[in-house]
């Protein structure tokens, strides 16, 4: 019985911490701070596979920093959004099935950005303004 109480308290603490971090990130993006939004990128600088990283939306160009390797890459200047969709069944195996995919293109290059629904608005606004 004590284990259930401790497990419930731990789950509540983790939920509160995650929610607090999301609020901090969204308020930072709204204020114009350099805020990294967790996402996965396919195409362009990430290559043909889904790569985890952070998308930095600030007043300058959109930049993406890979989780592994830590290199920071500026996304193409002519980036424009062409669509928004949920992941396909095949993509959902490697991504979170609840995520949304922002389809973008720059010239003849297609770039896909997978982001969670609660962080979708800042990404869409940043891509539209780029």
Q: Is residue 20 part of a domain?
A: no
Which of the four pLDDT bands, split at 50, 70 and 90, describes residue 12? Answer: very high
Q: Is residue 59 part of a domain?
A: yes
Q: Which tens digits make up the pLDDT trace of 18-54?
A: 888 777 766 666 666 666 788 899 887 767 888 898 8
pTM, whole model, 2 decimals?
0.74
Q: Is residue 76 part of a domain?
A: yes
Q: Is residue 25 part of a domain?
A: no
Q: Is residue 3 part of a domain?
A: no
Classified as helix, coil or strand, 11 is helix
Q: Which domain holds residue 48?
A: 33-129
Cα angle 43, 44, 46; round to 5: 70
Q: Count how many domains the chain has.
A: 1
């Amino acid at each position: 019985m004590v284990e259930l109480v401790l497990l419930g308290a731990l789950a509540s603490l983790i939920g509160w911490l995650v929610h607090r971090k999301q609020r901090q990130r969204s308020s930072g993006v709204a204020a114009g701070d350099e805020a990294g939004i967790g996402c996965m990128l396919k195409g362009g600088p990430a290559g043909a596979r889904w790569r985890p990283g952070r998308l930095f939306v600030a007043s300058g160009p959109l930049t993406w920093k890979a989780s592994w390797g830590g290199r920071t890459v500026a996304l193409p200047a002519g980036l424009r959004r062409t669509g928004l969709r949920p992941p396909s069944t095949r993509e959902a195996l490697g991504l979170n099935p609840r995520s949304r995919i922002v389809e973008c293109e720059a010239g003849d290059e297609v770039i896909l950005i997978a982001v969670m629904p609660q962080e979708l608005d800042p990404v869409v606004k940043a891509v539209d303004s780029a």
